[in-house]
């Protein structure tokens, strides 16, 4: 019942972790390797099997040691280093305590790779997964160099980070290569003591081995394949093999550990260590990618803020030009109305011809009011305002270099994000070989921020198109007041023929109405929305560009926030469920 309760408690913890990890997909993270590992840990807990996993490099003789332990060669065994298996192979030697099995891995320190789900994965990464899930570890090393420099970091991780020291058997192999007489007990004991002390000395300096830990070490010295004659040869000479290999020492060490092992306790400890190891790798991988992204976004926000300030200064200059143009329009309107009010019959004709505009109708040859002079006067005010705006935008662009500023910012952002990807991958590999923080979100972020910005202040051609709105303004007035215009044209035609003073007052009123309507129509073009669109389109383009960048940065910021919220949920789970948890920040 106690074992059942413990098992249910562990499985409940692992299931809750599985659900949290699964949620990582919602924030663009690819944790399928972690999910697979969790499934394996759950299976180990559920099936009650205690795994004894061999740790060593391809050339240390792991498979030969297993064959010697089993007393036979399995079909799946590959002894030659160049042919080392890329598979996980499970053995259950006869006589081994029920519920225990030995797992041979592809090797921890090599560089060979295989394809898994379309991704290249090192054999050593496959081994790391199984080592973290191992209940008991057999570390097989070379008698000549018991702990190679290239093995130190991984051994430290296994023995310290994964807390495997107490459950590790150290097997010093290839003793026959040290010129020891394996058949001479005294010579063997002397050389074995030297090799054990060499290994202990290395462990003292590499993992800070304490005196108490030193006393508890389980170390045996063997020669799994004496004289390199091959296990096929030795299996046929089994008794001689046992004397020369001292393989029984290895078997006895395994039996002792198995007999002394509390299977329930070791499964609880192993599941906790596996989970802690996974979470360390995942959290460090997330942090390594998230931090450069945060810095990149903050950097871009500062640049955007600076551009907004420059844009605000530019807007003030454009608004000053707007005020000047409005003032000139009002002055022109007031002058025309004042002249109309004060003119007599003799001045009226001259006013119409010089201030309003009269043209000959090609069809009937008659002179008619066409407003071309007034339209040109108004158009000139708008053109000069537009030219001043153009100068202000060009001056600001020369000072700030809008396009260059945007693109230089994006280069910085792109570099920061690329660094984050590389660091994230390195951290993930360091703490958990197959943690795969999905680069898609960061890639999308880079695409968002690295878009090439093309800022081209509007020129004469674009402005000419915008000025067509002025002509449309006259057209709109004509459309709105056809009766008044027609009456004015008819009155002018009559007056120009008969010069009748009785019609002058009516003619003045009609002319003032048309002029006031025209200026009212043009005043709408000076409202902010129309003004910037028609007379400062380059400013509108800049504002839209800044807004677009801010919107994209906000989207990226939300992704970062979601990522941090996800990690916060992760951290809380670790604190609540893993003993001696250390939150990675």
Query: pLDDT: is 449 or 481 the higher one?
Result: 481
Could you report the per-residue pLDDT of 5-31, keeping only the tens digit for each?
A: 656 777 787 788 888 878 877 777 777
Burial zone of 291 (CB within 10 Å; 0-12 exposed, 13-18 middle, 19+ buried): middle
Spell out the SS3 assignment of 433-463.
CCCCCCCHHHHHHHHHHCCCCCCCCCCHHHH
- Phi, psi values for residue 258, rounded to 5°: -60, -45
The residues with which 221 forms a beta bridge, in sequence order, are: 172
Query: pLDDT: is 32 or 509 the higher one?
Result: 509
C-alpha span between 388 and 394 (Å, rounded): 10
Q: List, in sequence order, every beta strand (DSSP E) within 100-240.
A: 100-104, 113-116, 119-122, 136-142, 168-173, 218-221
C-alpha span between 296 and 282 (Å, rounded): 22
Query: Domain ranges in the chain?
Result: 50-261, 287-575
Distances (CA, A) of 48 to 98, 164, 423: 10, 19, 38
- pLDDT (0 to 100) of residue 363: 82
Question: How do 367-369 and 358-360 pair as beta strands?
Answer: antiparallel
What's the mean pLDDT in 326-350?
Answer: 89
Judge: domain 50-261, CATH 3.30.450.20. no
Tokens representing residue 261 in the block: 């092992």
**Positive/negative CA dihedral, 305, 311, 317, 320:** negative
Burial zone of 140 (CB within 10 Å; 0-12 exposed, 13-18 middle, 19+ buried): buried
HSE-CB for 346 with a 13 A CA cutoff: 0
Question: How do 136-142 and 50-55 pair as beta strands?
Answer: parallel
Question: By the 8 A CB rule, do 349 and 496 touch?
Answer: yes
pLDDT at residue 61 is higher than 50: yes
- Phi, psi values for residue 155, rounded to 5°: -65, -40
Could you report the per-residue pLDDT of 325-337, keeping only the tens digit for each?
A: 999 999 999 999 9
- Best mean pLDDT range from 102-106, 290-294, 393-397: 393-397
Summary mean pLDDT of the chain: 74
Residue 261 binned pLDDT confidence (cut-offs 50, 70, 90): low
3-class secondary-structure state, position 419 = helix
Question: By the 8 A CB rule, do 475 and 71 touch?
Answer: no
Tokens representing residue 189 in the block: 């004991």
Tokens representing residue 72 in the block: 């036979």
pLDDT at residue 203 is higher than 90: yes
Rounded to 10°, the helix 504-524/460-480 angle is 140
C-alpha span between 316 and 329 (Å, rounded): 20
pTM of the model: 0.56
Residue 437 binned pLDDT confidence (cut-offs 50, 70, 90): very low
Question: How do 113-116 and 119-122 pair as beta strands?
Answer: antiparallel
pLDDT at residue 521 is higher than 70: yes
Could you report the per-residue pLDDT of 543-566, keeping only the tens digit for each?
A: 888 888 888 788 888 888 888 888
Share of the chain above pLDDT 90, in %: 17
- Phi, psi values for residue 172, rounded to 5°: -90, 110
Query: How many other CB atoms are there within 10 angstroms of residue 527's CB atom?
Result: 11
């Amino acid at each position: 019942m106690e074992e059942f309760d413990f098992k249910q408690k562990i499985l409940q913890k692992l299931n809750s972790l599985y659900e949290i990890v699964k949620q990582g997909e919602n924030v663009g993270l690819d944790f399928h390797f972690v999910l697979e590992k969790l499934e394996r840990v759950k299976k180990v807990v559920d099936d009650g099997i205690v795994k004894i996993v061999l740790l060593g490099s391809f050339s240390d003789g792991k498979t030969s040691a297993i064959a010697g332990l089993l007393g036979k060669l399995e079909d799946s065994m590959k002894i030659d280093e160049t042919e080392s298996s890329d598979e996980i192979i499970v053995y259950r030697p006869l006589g081994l305590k029920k519920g225990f099995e030995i797992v041979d891995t592809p090797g921890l320190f090599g560089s060979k790779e295989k394809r898994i789900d379309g991704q290249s994965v090192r054999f050593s990464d496959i081994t790391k997964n199984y080592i973290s899930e191992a209940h008991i570890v057999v570390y097989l090393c070379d008698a000549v160099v018991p702990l190679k420099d290239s093995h130190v970091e991984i051994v430290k991780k296994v023995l310290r980070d994964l807390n495997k020291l107490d459950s590790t058997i150290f097997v010093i192999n290839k003793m026959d290569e040290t010129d020891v007489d394996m058949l001479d007990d005294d010579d063997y004991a002397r050389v074995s003591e030297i090799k054990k002390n060499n290994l202990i000395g290395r462990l003292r300096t590499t993992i800070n081995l304490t005196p108490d830990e030193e006393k508890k070490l389980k170390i045996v010295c063997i020669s799994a394949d004496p004289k390199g004659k091959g296990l096929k040869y030795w299996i046929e000479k089994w008794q001689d093999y046992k004397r020369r290999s001292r393989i029984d020492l290895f078997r006895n060490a395994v039996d002792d550990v198995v007999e002394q092992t509390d299977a329930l306790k070791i499964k609880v400890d192993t599941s906790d260590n596996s989970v802690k190891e996974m979470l360390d790798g995942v959290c460090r991988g997330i942090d390594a990618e998230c931090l450069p992204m945060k810095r990149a976004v903050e950097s871009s926000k500062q640049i955007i803020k600076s551009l907004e300030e420059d844009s605000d200064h530019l807007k003030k200059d454009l608004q000053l030009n707007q005020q000047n143009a409005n003032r000139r329009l009002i002055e022109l309107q007031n002058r025309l109305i004042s002249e109309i009010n004060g003119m007599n019959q003799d001045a009226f004709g001259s006013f119409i011809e010089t201030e309003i505009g009269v043209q000959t109708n090609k069809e009937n040859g008659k002179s008619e009011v066409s407003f071309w002079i007034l339209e040109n006067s108004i158009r000139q005010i708008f053109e000069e305002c537009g030219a001043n705006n153009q100068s202000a935008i060009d001056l600001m662009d020369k000072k700030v270099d809008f396009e260059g500023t945007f693109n230089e910012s994006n280069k910085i952002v792109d570099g920061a994000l690329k660094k984050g990807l590389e660091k994230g991958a390195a951290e993930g590999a360091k703490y958990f070989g197959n943690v795969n923080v999905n680069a898609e979100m960061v890639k999308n972020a880079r695409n968002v921020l690295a878009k090439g910005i093309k800022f081209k202040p509007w020129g004469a051609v674009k402005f000419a198109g915008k000025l067509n709105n002025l002509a449309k303004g006259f057209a709109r007035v004509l459309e709105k007041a056809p009766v008044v215009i027609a009456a004015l044209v008819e009155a002018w035609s009559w007056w120009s023929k008969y010069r009748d003073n009785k019609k002058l007052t009516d003619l003045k009123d009609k002319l003032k109405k048309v002029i006031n309507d025209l200026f009212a129509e043009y005043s709408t073009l000076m409202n902010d929305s129309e003004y910037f669109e028609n007379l400062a389109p380059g400013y509108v383009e800049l504002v839209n560009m800044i807004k677009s960048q801010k919107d994209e940065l906000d989207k990226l910021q939300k992704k970062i926030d979601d990522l941090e919220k996800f990690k916060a949920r992760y951290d809380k789970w670790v604190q609540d469920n893993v003993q001696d948890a250390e939150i990675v920040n």
